[in-house]
Structure 1
Amino acid sequence: MNVLEKKNGQGGLQSELIAEVRNSTLTESQKLQLIEEKFRDIMMALGLDVTDESLKDTPRRVAKMYVKEVFSGLDPANAPAITLFKNDFSYDEMLIERNIPVYSYCEHHFVPIIGKVHVAYMSKGEVIGLSKLNRIVHYFAKRPQVQERLTIQIAEYLKKVMGIDDVAVVMDAEHLCVASRGVRDTGSTTITSSFHGRFLEVEIRKEFMSLLSV
Structure 2
Amino acid sequence: MKQEKTVSPILENNRIGQSSLASCDLDECFDETHDREEETLGSMADAVYTLLKGVGEDPEREGLLLTPERVAKSLRFLTKGYRQDPEQLLRKAVFTESYDEMVLVKDIDIYSMCEHHMLPFFGKAHVAYIPDGKIVGLSKIPRVVEVFARRLQVQERLTQQIRDAIQNVLNPRGVAVVIEATHMCMVMRGVEKQNSVTTTSAMSGEFMNNQSTRSEFLRLIGNR
Q: Deviations over 1:153-209 (max 9, x none)?
A: 000001112122510000000000000101110111000000100001111100100
Report the AA paired with residue 52 of structure 1: R
How far apart are the structure 2 equivalents of 1:28 and 1:158? 30
* Structure 1 contact 105–144 (Cα < 8 Å) conserved: yes
Q: Match for residue 167 of structure 2?
A: 159
Q: Match for residue 118 of structure 2?
A: 110
Q: Match for residue 35 of structure 1?
A: 44
Instruction: Choose 42-51 or 96-105, whichever is displaced more.
Output: 42-51
Q: Match for residue 95 of structure 2?
A: 85
Q: Match for residue 16 of structure 1?
A: none
Q: Match for residue 153 of structure 2?
A: 145
Instruction: State the percentage of identical aligned residues.
Output: 39
Q: How far does residue 77 in structure 1 lie from its aligned partner after superposition?
A: 6.0
How far apart are the structure 2 equivalents of 1:84 and 1:101? 23
TM-score, normalised to structure 2, is: 0.80
Give ranges in structure 2 of 5+ residues lacking alignment: 1-30
* Structure 1 contact 72–78 (Cα < 8 Å) conserved: no
- Residue 131 (structure 1) aligned with residue 134 (structure 2): no
* Structure 1 contact 36–63 (Cα < 8 Å) conserved: yes
Q: How far does residue 42 in structure 1 lie from its aligned partner after superposition?
A: 0.5
Q: Secondary structure at the match of 2:113?
A: strand
Distance 1:64 1:142, change over 3 A: same
Report the AA paired with residue 143 of structure 1: R
* Structure 2 contact 86–144 (Cα < 8 Å) conserved: no
- Residue 100 (structure 1) aligned with residue 128 (structure 2): no
Q: How far does residue 45 in structure 1 lie from its aligned partner after superposition?
A: 1.4
Q: Match for residue 202 of structure 2?
A: 194
Report the AA paired with residue 136 of structure 1: V
* Structure 1 contact 166–198 (Cα < 8 Å) conserved: yes
Q: Match for residue 5 of structure 1?
A: none
Between structure 1 and structure 2, the one with the greater Rg is 2
Q: Secondary structure at the match of 1:119?
A: strand
- RMSD of the alignment, in Å? 2.0
Report the AA paired with residue 84 of structure 1: V
How far apart are the structure 1 equivalents of 2:52 and 2:173? 48
Distance 1:79 1:158, change over 3 A: closer
Report the AA paired with residue 111 of structure 2: Y
TM-score, normalised to structure 1, is: 0.83
Give ranges in structure 1 of 5+ residues lacking alignment: 1-22
Q: Match for residue 74 of structure 2?
A: 65
- Residue 203 (structure 1) aligned with residue 189 (structure 2): no
